[in-house]
Amino acid sequence: MKQHIKAIRAFNRFYTDVIGLADQHILHSQYSLPEVRILYEMYYNNAATANQIIGLINIDKGYLSRILLKFEKQKLISKKRSVQDARSVRLTLTAKGRSQFEKLDLSANNQIRQILSNVSTKGHGELVHHMNAIKKILDVKISS
């Protein structure tokens, strides 16, 4: 088990170096990884409440609250009380928020495209196959 832990941690360090996660900000932007992930969930999964975001990315409620406040001040999101339940607040990306995320998403796609440019076409398929295998193995363990 000790060797497996060491190997997994080594892979994690390797991969975070490959995609630049050791930097404070993602994709040479002003945003941290959790901030980009929140924008992602709001953009692609229509996460419209803080509880939905927490369910999707398992983030601390207080930390999420601080990030959402920052986004609101930057006019990336808007908040609106739910008509059905006044305790619930609906979150929406503003036009500025959508635009900011789309720039980040394009940068992320370009980053992966650049990484893959050094890998053969056959290697692309192998890489995705092995990544899916890792996801499948870890999902079974996490779900149990």
Distance CA 6, CA 91 (A): 41
Domains and CATH numbers, the chain: 28-143 (1.10.10.10)
Residue written as tokens 């994709």?
27
* Closest-CA residue to 48 (of 83, 12, 100, 7): 83
Q: Indicate the residue type of 140.
A: V
Q: Could you report the per-residue pLDDT of 125-136, keeping only the tens digit for each?
A: 999 999 999 999
Residues contacting residue 50 through CB under 8 Å, at least 6 positions apart: 61, 64, 65, 68, 89, 91
pLDDT bin (cut points 50, 70, 90) of residue 82 is confident
Q: pLDDT, tens digit, for every residue of 11-31?
A: 998 988 888 776 667 788 899
Mention every residue, 6+ apart, whose C-beta is less than 8 A from residue 93: 39, 42, 43, 76, 77, 101
Say if residue 144's pLDDT is above 50: no
Q: How is 64-77 classified by DSSP, letter by letter?
A: HHHHHHHHHHTTSE
Strands (E), 28-96: 77-81, 89-93
Residue 142 in this model has a pLDDT that exceeds 80 = no
